[in-house]
Amino acid sequence: MKKNTDNTIYLLTGAAGFLGSHICDTLLERGDAVRALVLPGDKSVKYIPNEVDIVEGNLCDADSLETFFTVPEGVKTIAIHCASMVTTNAEFNQKLIDVNVGGTKNMIDKCLEHKECQKMVYVSSTGAIPEQPKGVAIKEAPRFTPVNDIVQRGCYSQSKAMATQEVLDACQERGLNACVVHPSGILGPKDYAIGETTGTVIKIMNGQMPIGMGGSFNLCDVRDLADGCVKAADKGRIGECYILGNKEVTLKEVCQMLHDASGCKMPFFYVPIKMAYKLAAQMEKKAEKTGEKPMMTNFAVYNLDRNNQFDYSKAERELGYHTRPYAETLKDEAEWLVSNGYVKTHANHGDNTAAAGTAAQTANAVAHA
């Protein structure tokens, strides 16, 4: 365990979120001092440990960040910018741009204004990296803008691309000491907000997904991602990007590992990707008439069909990043879900019609770290 002997405070945004809370735990476990930025009235603040200094502020309001960055004379800071707005909707969203891009610009400005801030780690996403053809492992990109709708699909991915470029430009042009990490999808215990991936795991374990889908994911244990973010703060080089990814895994493999860990029932049929696109088109067309949200979307299917092979060897080599086996992660997550009452002890299969759409929803989580 590292002891905080260098009088440094880690300034963490998104500390109440899934990844942010684990970054917070990782820092505290090694003896570091942590200050967390939370939105005024954020109820999830209850998940932040008592040892953390909590400051209210808004990323979109630069003036509100001043207290977050202000520390006593002689104290140094390191900022880990983990907070972001996430959406599974591919359509343009101005609020998303304001938070993810504008908020990151404000963080950059504050880091540069406060000379005691030694470094910034920006938590981006693998979705920000331009997609490569299948069979080609996706590596860290030299540039992220202008965004390309074909290889950077969806407003979330594009917002993370733009924010990433803002950080890299500030390193080159303004002397910011910062590096970027690109997590892939997130999996693991203690997801109190029940995000898309965790919600899908719950449905599988509760027998509410008798119909699955083809395609692949790239998911990482949230604890390994948190460790990678902290190691980036320790070792990441200025102006460099690091993919924090894992091996690809299929939904069928995930279901099998959950079955092995908990005894839950597995889907009895997996819809091929080509068929899934046709189903999504029909469901979206129906949704336009009814005004209801489609159970399956083209964008969700795309996220399963896209190239999800990422090369994370740079992070392994330079940061000491590592990933644990999927089976270990899913076992730990399954135990946490059961112990917290999210999963029924003896689950039966649910309605097949609803389950077909539920399978597709898993894809949305993959692109949003």
Q: Is the pTM of this model over 0.85?
A: yes
Q: Is the pLDDT of residue 80 over 80?
A: yes
| Phi-psi category of residue 107: left, alpha or beta, with phi > 0 → left and psi -120 to 50 → alpha | alpha
Q: Is the pLDDT of residue 257 over 80?
A: yes
> What are the tens digits of pLDDT across the range 25-46?
999 999 999 999 999 999 999 9
Longest dimension (CA), the chain: 63
Q: Which of 87-91, 324-328, 358-362 shows the lowest mean pLDDT across its residues?
A: 358-362
Mean pLDDT of the chain: 92
- Indicate the pLDDT class of residue 293, thresholds 50, 70 and 90: confident
Residues in the chain: 369
CA count, 13 A, side-chain hemisphere, 18: 27
Closest Cα partner for 79 from 87, 90, 71? 71
CATH class of 8-183: alpha beta
129-139 core/surface letters (b: 16 or more CB in 10 A; e: else): bebbeeeeebe
Q: What is the pLDDT of residue 294?
A: 87
Q: Do the Cβ atoms of 193 and 86 come closer than 8 Å?
A: no
The angle at the Cα of 292, spanning 286 to 297, to the nearest 5 degrees, equals 65
